[in-house]
Structure 1
Amino acid sequence: MPNGEPGDAARRAADVDRAVREARVSTASIEWAADATEPGAAIDIEVDGRRLWSEHLPEPLDGRRVVSWPAPLRPYLRGSGTLRVRASGGPVIAEGRYRFARERRRSLRRLAEAGTVLDKWGKLVPAANQELHDALLDGTERIVGELQAVGFVVAITGGTLLGAVRSGDILERDDDSDLLLYLGEASPTEVSLASYRVERLLIASGHTVIRHSDAHLQIMLQPTAAGISAHVDVFMGFHDRGVYSQPIHVRGDLPVEAILPITGIRLGGREVPSVADPEAWLAACYGPTWRVPDPAFSFETPIATRRRFENWFGTYDFTRHFWEARAARGRRGRRARGRGADVRHILRRTRRGDSVLDVGAGRGAAAAVLAGHRRRVTAIDFATTAVEAAVERSRGRFDVERVNLADGRAVLDLISRQREPEGTSVLLRDVLAYLPEDSRANVFRLIRAVIGERGIAVATFPDRATRRYEHLRPDTWHLPLSWLSAELHRHGLAYTLHRRTLRRTSAGVRRFVHISIHAAESSIESRRSS
């Protein structure tokens, strides 16, 4: 066809549309000239040739596409290099250079070189590989066998079932495996009780278990030879008056016949248990388009379903990943702040041999100081990275436990072990403001139960808001003294204010209060009269 003909012009226009756009990269966003690609297509963002995260192509804005940096990546916006936006599994859409502040210990380049990616939950994790997938297959087989041996009905579920149906293998980018424990017709209370039976069984079998809710347990597998950690999620599924529920996302009209009888399916060359109708379950979970791969997929649970599950089964790890990452970033050998006014307060009010409970102990700096003064210290935290660091620091001088303050049963168990005739003192360094109200209530029950006549509870926390507040960053939260007073009153407790100080923090300069918590006078009089 001669030059200038309509068909030639259409081809030239198509070639221009397929051309790689120039990406402009700033600390706020990545943007490039929009092409004709439909919004919603999956894209990968690559840094120096390595995928860092995936998401869906945004709607054009004034002829340009704009992708904002996810919050977990903002602390790493340092250094320089190349950034590409690629259609997932396809060609490069846009490319450009990034030039940020001088590179330091944390940077995009180092993050990419370490093989780290942002997963669908917004967490920075090691990128999946075959070694990780082999560990998942081994761990899944073991846990399935242990649960089946005591009569539980178990099947693969979630992304693990999706991979088995699509390709007979774990999905390429999956970094965990998912199991369904089907309880038949059951009430929410029966589901909660069953989850604790399962937890006890798994712990007795030598597993480390992290409780996400009363219907979701996470089993940590032993690290591989290369130090890669993996986990298996166990979700309770049940029918309640004909409606199928499987937290965290599935609730609807899925008949028992879609679950039972349990059948077999191939996964990574192994036979694993599956629900009776995998396609019906996948449609209930992922919707009618479940057959179409979507590397940027993330759950959008209907708010009514989310509220129902949270009210039934709780949420026990709302901020855990934040604190896990924070404890992991602490440099080995760095001299941590262990001799604050709160620690000195505890030392003045206790004697050698007295019991002290360090709540939210982090990497154990304060616990080490207290133990050095011959106090019998138990340090607790719910971030596994913090617990591991505290164990290393303790060298047997103080006890370290993982306790989730959101889990009322775990707190009651802690109370049973910490109650002593002389009382146990409690240190709450930078803790109370960073807890949800329900978790604080568990802390106040703990204090009321263990301090006795001689013990004391000492706390420091910010009591004023910061302009840097972010809902998903608990280090930006605050606790006004008026709120604290009302919450303490419900537990027969009161506080004494000792001092206010300014401190530079990750959320800016903030005012901290230093208080002690004790039984309210009315409670003391009531106890004496009885």
Structure 2
Amino acid sequence: MPDPTTGPFGVDDEGVRVPADFDGSVDVLFDDHHAWSFTVHRGDDRAPAPGGSALVGWPPRMRGWLQGRAEVRLLDAGGDDAERDELWRGEVALGSGEGRIAFVDRQGIPVMIDKWGLLQRPFSGRGRGVVDHMVDVTEQILQVMRDDCGLEAWIAFGTLLGAAREGGVIGHDSDIDLAYLSHRTTPAEMVGELYDVTRALRAAGLEVLAKSGSFVTVLFTAPDGGQGSIDVYTCFYVGDLLHETATVRQVVPLTAIEPLGQLEFEGRLLPAPADPDRMLQVSYGPSWRVPDPSFQHTPGPEVTDRFHDWFGSLMRQRRDWERALASGAAEAAREAEPSAYAAWVLERTAPDDRLVEVGCGSMADALALARAGRSVLALDYARYGMRPAARAARQEGLDLRFSRMNLYDRRDVLTQAALVARDRRSPGRAVLARELLEALDPDGVEAFWRFTAMVLRPGGRLLLESTSARPAALAERRAELGGGRLRALDPRRVEADAVAAGGRVVTREGVLDAAAALAGGPPARWRMVVEWDAPPSSRGATATGAPQRAVTEGRSTT
């Protein structure tokens, strides 16, 4: 058995070592379970490792699983299974070294880390009933799009690849892909068309998550208790160039798509492009028949920049924050004592106020406030932080509700704000935001103030907590949090935005320290309370405690 710490190949707590000149794709198996695949090329920027090797670090989402022992195998990912070379095999102890490493979720479903660094439940580890259910939902989506929207969709990308190769799902894949050809002539019209599709699918009882103006995902719970998803993409022509999602911009004859044909997929006939071989070459190259679990689309800026300008992105930084929220650190935060911010909120709101937390993250504060007897609505666009907290809220009978809200999706923001504003079950209302504004792009900040103004226009208050720091310190903090980008946040700009949104700042804490932080001092946490006055007809006894008329400045106590 080779020593896992020596030689050109190896595995340790930091990652996988490969020869410095290695070029190719590798499957990583733990006790014969395929847990991850990666690709490296000569000339890639790789961390040096002992023995003339290069280090390919573990994906952040994977590190939480690497506690215990396992026989690790590194296999050449190219070629057929029977012909693949074993590059290395060894028994390793990672992290604590106690027990066996098992990539299995709480439902007992085998999981793997995909090419994006996200946790997935591959088809190879799920039962026949899961696949059948996914195909059932696929047929429902196709029917709704055909009958209600007049659009003919087809299986695409990895699903088309599986149908052409094997007549079914690919073992390391985890979802189903659909595409349709839009004949609208402008991006704005195409966005409107996809919103029509979204409304029709929701009217049919399906949960739909918008990811851009040309891409949505249908989410559902599979029979094994895990999540299932089906992606729907808009395709279109500009001249002779076919555009598929944000990965393809090539000359493809319309006859490669229409008229649609059929391919067998899991024992059923599903619509497919007229020339599957041509469409698969466009997406995966001429070697599409050779399996490569680590394959990633690498479109150039001539593709990605166009799609971003035309359709935007409704999932900016979402993968980064979801990785952070799914980590062991986030789980620990949910079980921690209430934060100082939660205690501060309790002191400045009335017991019968409705508390609306925007950017609830790990849910630690929302749970603490609900456990203190408050009514809480928690909003976030990262999908994974809410699930453990939802289980805890149900078990404890807490008045804690959850909903996704995407501050980069203006329709979503306006809809959520209208729903919250119409809910008058509580006499008072407060919006909470902690460490949110520094994580948003400018359009997300603008949407936050629009949401807050709509929710608090009948009267209420906003309680903010943020951290200001210079760029170098923000980079260190991002590395510690493991989430998305952070930006320098000046509380003076925040106050100006609050006033422009119709609010009035009544309390400031720590803003002088924040100014010093932006000038080069250590990172500083600051707080602010902003009030919206109720319209004259509804004024009376305030429901959020005694109104504060004097603006106060103080040091943050945290």
Which TM-score band applies after superposition, normalised by the shorter structure? 0.7 to 0.9
User: Quick one: distance in 1 between partners of 2:254 and 2:481?
Assistant: 41
Post-superposition offset of 1:286: 2.0
Aligned CA distance change for structure 1 residues 280 and 102 (closer, same or farther; 3 Å): same
How far apart are 1:48 and its partner, in Å? Answer: 2.7
Following TM superposition, by how much is the alpha carbon of 1:266 offset from its aligned partner in structure 2, in angstroms? 1.3
CA distance in 2, matches of 1:380, 1:296: 34
Q: Structure 1 pair 396/195, CA: closer, same or farther in 2 (3 Å)?
A: farther
CA gap 1:96/1:470 in 2 versus in 1, 3 angstroms: farther
1:169 equivalent in structure 2? 168
2:493 aligned partner, one-letter code: A
Change (3 A) 1:64 1:431: same
Deviations 1:486-521 (A, max 9, x none): 36635615865313899xxxxxxx945232253799
| Structure 2 partner of 1:110 | 102
Equivalent pair of 1:258/1:280 in contact (CA under 8 Å):
yes
The Cα shift of 1:384 comes to 3.2
Counterpart amino acid of 1:86? L
Q: Which residue number in structure 2 is paired with residue 506 of structure 1?
A: none
Matches of 2:294 and 2:375, distance apart in 1: 49
Q: Which moved more, 1:437-446 or 1:487-496?
A: 487-496
Correspondence 1:25 to 2:11: yes
Counterparts in 2 of 1:57-456, with a 5 A limit? 58-59=41-42, 66-72=54-60, 73-88=62-77, 89=81, 90-103=84-97, 109-111=101-103, 115-129=110-124, 130-131=127-128, 132-150=130-148, 151-224=150-223, 226-328=224-326, 329=328, 331=331, 335-338=335-338, 340-362=339-361, 364-371=363-370, 376-392=375-391, 393=393, 395=397, 397-419=399-421, 424-452=429-457, 454-456=459-461
Match of 2:33 among 50, 57, 66: 50
Question: Mapping of 1:468-487 within 5 angstroms?
Answer: 468=476, 475=483, 477-482=485-490, 485-486=492-493
CA contact (8 A) 2:433 2:465 kept: yes
Q: Cα deviations across residues 426-472 of structure 1 (Å, max 9, x unaligned)?
A: 10123222333332221122223333374221122332225635589
CA contact (8 A) 2:28 2:34 kept: yes
Instruction: Give yes or no for contact 2:371–2:398 (8 Å, CA) kept in 1.
Output: no
How far residue 320 of structure 1 moved from its aligned partner, in angstroms, is 2.9
For structure 1, the 5+ residue unaligned runs are 1-19, 503-509, 522-530
Question: CA separation of 1:487/1:301 partners in 2, compared to 1, >3 Å: closer, same or farther?
Answer: farther
Is the Cα contact below 8 Å between 1:319 and 1:472 reproduced in 2?
no
In structure 2, the partner of 1:515 is: 527
Identity of aligned residues (%): 25
Task: Return closer, same or farther for 1:350/1:467 CA change in 2, 3 Å cut-off.
Answer: closer
Question: Is residue 360–residue 380 contact of structure 1 (8 Å, CA) maintained in 2?
Answer: yes
Which sits farther off after the overlay, 24-33 or 434-443? 24-33
Alpha-carbon shift at residue 416 of structure 1 (Å): 1.7
Contact in 1 for aligned 2:22/2:41 (Cα 8 Å)? yes
Q: 8 Å contact 1:78–1:102 — kept in the other structure?
A: yes
Structure having greater relative contact order (Cα 8 Å, sep ≥ 6): 2
Give the unaligned 5+ runs of structure 2.
Answer: 1-5, 515-521, 534-558
- Work out the CA distance in 2 between the residues paired with 1:56 and 1:370: 45
Q: TM-score, normalised by structure 2?
A: 0.77
Q: Which segment drifts farther, 413-422 or 181-190?
A: 413-422
CA distance in 2, matches of 1:385, 1:32: 33
Taking the aligned partners of 1:353 and 1:201, their CA distance within structure 2 comes to 38
Equivalenced residue count is: 487
Change (3 A) 1:236 1:99: same
Please state how far the C-alpha of 1:185 moved relative to its aligned partner: 3.9
Of 460, 467, 471, the residue aligned with 2:465 is 460
- Retained in 1: the 8 A contact 2:460–2:532? no
Between 327-336 and 52-61, report the one with greater CA deviation.
327-336
Distance in 2 (CA, whole Å) between partners of 1:87 and 1:498 is 57
Is the CA contact (8 Å cut-off) linking 1:380 and 1:387 kept in structure 2?
no
Aligned residue identity for 1:273: P
Q: Is 2:449–2:497's contact at 8 Å kept on the other side of the alignment?
A: no
Q: Distance in 1 between matches of 2:386 and 2:334?
A: 17
Please say if residues 363 and 389 of structure 1, whose CA atoms lie closer than 8 Å, have aligned partners that are also in contact: no
CA distance in structure 2 between the aligned counterparts of 1:144 and 1:471, rounded to whole angstroms: 42
Is the Cα–Cα contact under 8 Å of residues 25 and 39 in structure 2 kept in the other structure? yes
